[in-house]
Structure 1
Amino acid sequence: MNIASIDFLALHAPLADGKAYGMSKSLATGRATTLVRIALEDGTSGFGEAWGPPAFNMGYLAFLRGYLLGVNVLDVEHVFDQIFARHYHFGFQGPMMACISGIDMAAKDAAGKMLGVPVCRLVGGRNLDAVPIYASGGYLTATPREDYRGQIERMAGAGFAHVKIKIGLGPESDEERLATAREILGDDVEILVDINTNYTFDLARESMERMRPYRPGWVEEPLSPRDYDGLARLHACASAPIATGEALYGVHDFKPIVEAGSADVLQPDLSLCGGFWQGRKIAELAHAAHLRVSPHVWGGAVGLAAALHYISALSVYPHAMNVPKPVLLEYDLGENPLRSELLKDPLVPVDGVIAVPEGPGLGIEIDMDAVERHAAKQ
């Protein structure tokens, strides 16, 4: 069960001219990710996904191989601890943690295949067979007024019970976008809103007050996730739950958020925060503080599969048979071949849920022809 090889595969899927979409701070002209592949000495392979520009991640590959080759695949978390203990000057934040996130995913995938069990059973036990999603769309574009209404109408036509829209251009715009979404989607759909850290405290407070009549399910990243005091002040006067964490690395980044009382929903991204290794610690931190968890997913198909297993294994405590608000999986509606084409059997929602794969490991099969098509030119 020792690791024989580790490879990083850079993937890129450019968008057509004029099709850029994104958030309040920037628009994406393409989607990119780093696919991580581990092979064990017996030939068993595992796949993971590392967040961020592949060129950044590639620089860490030789360094991390030096620590992990020859290690028992079940022991990798101790090696990660050794790396950060010895190289504490690097810090937890940055591409090295993203690379370790992908390696950890791949290690869990390979271990599950080796043992014949799904990853959810390796990281806490299979508690759910299917996970409800929220549809992440309502994106900002180069012409946000012209493009927005059609996006929401398509969401309404698909019948999603939970959706998320992008805001953050200003409090007046936020109110207008949420009011439009509420008008089209109706009163029964939960609408989450995402500012992507584009505001100062006063703007975030004004935005939340303006949106109050339209009942946002949560307000995501109203301020920088490391503005612990600002988030705590905002939380004290908030009219809706606050969600944050997609840009935080490891449990040590989440701890001050919890201690300051800055958020209601923690949003670790498994491809960035430290994979299942740190994701489980973050979930335990939330568990101890009676906070909700909803993992951020805005990458490729492997990260989506990992998030399914992660949610399946989460404790429902303090709930029991009645779970008033189930943990939601983010399902990105944007054009993204790295989500829709990388698997031989893509993960897609049916009746508002995605089934947790039952096969060993992550339970997915990579389409290597698709990987080849989207391989980034070096």
Structure 2
Amino acid sequence: MIIENVEAYWLRCPIEDVKQHRSDYGLLTHFDMALIVVTTEEGLQGFGEAKAAVGSSGVCASIVSCVEQELKPVLIGQDAKNITRIWEQLYSGSRDHYALARGRKFPILGRRGLTISAISGVDMALWDLKGKSLDVPVVELLGGACREQMPAYASGGWADVDGIGEQLSGYVSKGFDGVKMRVGVMDSTVAKSVARVKAAREVLGPDIKIMADAHGTYSVPEAKQFCRGVEDFDLYWFEEPISPDNPMGTAEVRASTSIPIAAGESEYTCFDVRDLINHRAIDVIQPDAAIIGGISEAMRVGHLAQAWQLELAPHCWGSAFSFMAGVTVAFASPSATVIEFSLGGNPMIYELINEKMEVEKGMIKAPGSTGLGVTPNWDFVKEYTQRV
């Protein structure tokens, strides 16, 4: 499986007015992603996703440039089956021969940030290629699915205190028994966030899982205040309470409450996650396969979760490609028990691909199609590709 070509496309698609939402990121009017395509000499193609932002929108021009100008020359002529070796080469750059000879990393200067996002998309595409070449789902290459199906939780929840109960109840009516809502500076005060969580619990009752996500926007004192305010409302987890730049602060928040703390979607490589664990900052690890370093690195994070007996909950807010990568990692990991499913306006999870994305009665079945199981709608790609 010799690599003949590597391409990257920055896609930007508008979100319908009725499906737009406002959070601490502002009004989200469009969705961005970088589609990575790796083609072999036989014409077989693998597809992956790289992201310039954890949320819906972000300029992907630099990712396209990185893939086509920096990574592509290294990849052309390589055997696509050697996924681990290629990852090490891309991460160590011109010193890759030292890394492979001595068994440790000699990382490039861009060992964090958008370069790792670009590597993520390539890695995802290589796993997709390998699955297709062997006519098996990628999850089979990772050891097989630990479960036949897994529950999904509906990720959304931006409504105000008067509407949050109805909004989340709408998710539950679709079959989900877990929901995630946004809190933090978007509410202007901690008290308003607490009131919204209280309103949600009163409407949903005691049996629905509620997760709260602050997008890293609280200070440490604010996060502690929020935890005290919602202590009686049985949150399943409190996600990214403070800035990911402050792992010791996250650990301080965790030590102050019995509410499980989740984080990891903003981290690059398993080394960042290792540091969170060493700080005793988290209970739930949330790698994003389009950011962390691809399926390869997300699985390494899964191994950390298993070793430390933490919950793994991949961040699946992206296009259908990173979603399926996260689903694949979740099914291959004993530590994962629930999967995120976006209920925000997201054309990249429905219109970008030829296949239909389905959740049945709040459950997702183990991947059964070859590769990652999704392929791009090239008409959509052509219409929404941005010039770089």
Distance 1:104 1:9 in 2: 16
Partner of 1:319: none
Is the contact between residue 174 and residue 207 of structure 1 (CA under 8 Å) also seen in structure 2? yes
1:360 matches 2:370: yes
1:304 matches 2:323: yes
Q: Deviations over 1:215-242 (max 9, x none)?
A: 1110000012231211112111113000
Partner of 2:82: 75
1:159 matches 2:165: no
Partner of 1:138: 157
SS in 1 for 2:46: strand
Distance 2:128 2:358 in 1: 20
Task: Report how far residue 310 of structure 1 moved.
Answer: 1.0
Task: Report how far residue 262 of structure 1 moved.
Answer: 0.6
Task: Report how far residue 41 of structure 1 moved.
Answer: 1.2
Paired residue total: 366
Question: After superposition, where does 1:1-378 map in structure 2 within 5 Å?
Answer: 1-16=1-16, 20-52=20-52, 53-60=59-66, 61-86=68-93, 88-139=107-158, 144=160, 148-168=164-184, 169=187, 170-316=189-335, 327-378=337-388
Distance 1:106 1:19 in 2: 30
Distance 1:130 1:105 in 2: 22
SS in 2 for 1:59: helix
Runs (5+) with no aligned partner, structure 2: 53-58, 95-106
Q: Using the TM superposition, name which of 76-85 and 233-242 deviates more.
A: 76-85
Distance 1:44 1:147 in 2: 48
SS in 2 for 1:96: helix
TM-score (ref. length: structure 2): 0.89
Distance 1:31 1:313 in 2: 28
Distance 2:64 2:367 in 1: 29
Is the contact between residue 174 and residue 211 of structure 1 (CA under 8 Å) also seen in structure 2? no
TM-score (ref. length: structure 1): 0.91
Q: Deviations over 1:79-119 (max 9, x none)?
A: 33233224735232211111111111111101111111110
Task: Report how far residue 292 of structure 1 moved.
Answer: 0.8
Task: Report how far residue 371 of structure 1 moved.
Answer: 2.2
Is the contact between residue 13 and residue 384 of structure 2 (CA under 8 Å) also seen in structure 1? yes
Distance 2:384 2:203 in 1: 36
Task: Report how far residue 173 of structure 1 moved.
Answer: 1.3
Q: Deviations over 1:60-90 (max 9, x none)?
A: 0221001111111121332332332247352
Change (3 A) 1:118 1:159: closer
Distance 1:2 1:132 in 2: 38
SS in 1 for 2:173: helix
Task: Report how far residue 315 of structure 1 moved.
Answer: 2.4
Amino acid at match of 2:3: I
Distance 1:156 1:18 in 2: 20
Work out the percentage of aligned pairs sharing the same amino acid. 31
Task: Report how far residue 26 of structure 1 moved.
Answer: 3.4
Is the contact between residue 197 and residue 221 of structure 1 (CA under 8 Å) also seen in structure 2? yes
Distance 1:27 1:260 in 2: 34
User: What RMSD over aligned residues (CA atoms) do the two structures have, in Å?
Assistant: 1.9
Partner of 1:322: none
Runs (5+) with no aligned partner, structure 1: 317-325
Is the contact between residue 357 and residue 364 of structure 1 (CA under 8 Å) also seen in structure 2? no
